[in-house]
Amino acid sequence: MKLERLVSIIMILLDKKRISAQELAERFEVSLRTIYRDIDSINMAGIPIRSTPGVGGGFEIMEQYKVDKKVFSTDDLSALLMGLSSLSNLVHGDELVHALAKVKSFVPEERAKDIEIKANQLSIDLSPWMGNKNTQAYLEMIKTALQENRLVSFDYADRYGNKTARTAEPYQLVLKNSHWYWQGYCLKRKDFRLFRVSRMSNLQLQKDTFTPQEYQKPELNFTDRLAEMQIKITIRIHKSIVDRVLDYCAYDDFSPDDDEHYLVRFPFVENDYYYSILLSFGNRCECLEPMPIREEVKRRIHDIAAVYEN
């Protein structure tokens, strides 16, 4: 978010004597034009930034200036504290504790209670109720590897359970749909890969370091592509699983069938993942049409039943 970036730039300028536009652009992964606009915004907010051209030049806050705590509104400070507090629930680290402390130092005493109430109105906790207990420890190790440019080795299981030993250069942590991933350059495959943390085991932080190479961030938004692949099927569900079905479609897709059931136009792609979703609803869901998908669901149910016949 722009506001968080602006505050971060102010903090950097308070901590450092001078920093170049290029260094700021690389740190926040934005263009030079964006950095210049940010500096203009900071100036307009009443914090005087001086620019020094040439070798060794850059931006710095004018000497003798002290940041006025009133430069941030109650909503600004609440939003920053809300975001940083939620992030600290996901990834632990001293840097987040320090960032929270710095932002809190901007809170005037007379507004502290109001800001605390607003900041506590949203809490984000994506940690699972149960699951892989190694996830948090692995995240901390990957964070260390990212900060120190160190190789990591691990065993990785594909979606069929086949394990291979890997060594990789880590480049980015990714949280997508409540699951943690990280992008790295796999030395075995000689290419960039997106690894799912829950599929890893025996993660080891290596002493060997690497020189970071240019890379593209992984494509994470498949909304348009998925929309082209999906069809709408009709399922009949019991009202007790409405909340689960709403994870995959909107309530506009529901129509009452009787007092206990709904007909749902359900988005579907003909692959194992989507069939497993339907089967996870158990006997509280019936696929009505199209007929080929209904028959395939019946076949898969028969195969499951056959496992238990002996």
If you average pLDDT over every residue of the chain, what do you get? 82
The pLDDT score that the predictor gives to residue 54 is 76
Q: What is the mean pLDDT of residues 77-88?
A: 65
Are 159 and 174 in contact, with CB atoms under 8 Å apart?
Answer: no
Q: Residue 11: pLDDT above 90?
A: no
Parse the chain into domains and list their residue ranges: 2-67, 74-119, 138-209, 224-309
Average pLDDT on 128-143 reads 76
The more confident residue out of 305 and 68 is 305
| Topology (CATH level 3) of domain 2-67 | Arc Repressor Mutant, subunit A (1.10.10)
- Please report the pLDDT score of residue 89 as a whole number: 55
70 has a pLDDT exceeding 60: no
pLDDT tops 90 at residue 140: no
Confidence band (pLDDT; 50, 70, 90) for 274?
very high
DSSP-assigned letters across all residues of 16-28: SS-B-HHHHHHHH
Of 50, 40, 122, the residue nearest 89 (C-alpha)? 122
Closest CA relative to residue 154, chosen from 190, 179, 188, 191: 188
Choice between 48 and 119, residue whose per-residue pLDDT is larger:
48
Give the pLDDT of residue 290.
96
Q: Is the pTM of this model over 0.85?
A: no
**126 pLDDT more than 90:** no
Predicted confidence at residue 237, as pLDDT, reads: 96
**By percentage, how much of the chain surpasses pLDDT 90?**
40
Residue 63 — pLDDT band, cuts 50, 70, 90? low
pLDDT at position 4, please? 66
What percent of the chain is modeled with pLDDT above 70? 75
Residues with Cβ < 8 Å from 154, sequence gap 6 or more? 165, 166, 168, 200, 201, 202, 203, 204
Q: Is 273 helix (H, G, I), strand (E, B) or coil?
A: helix
Which is more confident, 112 or 190?
Answer: 190
The beta-carbon contacts of 189-198 under 8 Å, at least 24 apart in sequence, are 192/216, 192/218, 193/168, 194/218, 195/156, 195/166, 195/168, 197/132, 197/135, 197/138, 197/139, 197/142, 198/131, 198/132, 198/135
Between 3-7, 92-96, 223-227, the lowest mean confidence (pLDDT) is in 92-96
pLDDT tens digits for range 222-240:
677 777 889 999 999 999 9
Residue 217's pLDDT band (boundaries 50, 70, 90)?
confident
What CATH number labels 138-209? 2.30.30
| Mean pLDDT of the 193-198 span | 92
Please give the average per-residue pLDDT across 117-140, as a whole number.
70
Which band of pLDDT confidence, cut at 50, 70 and 90, is reported for residue 204?
very high
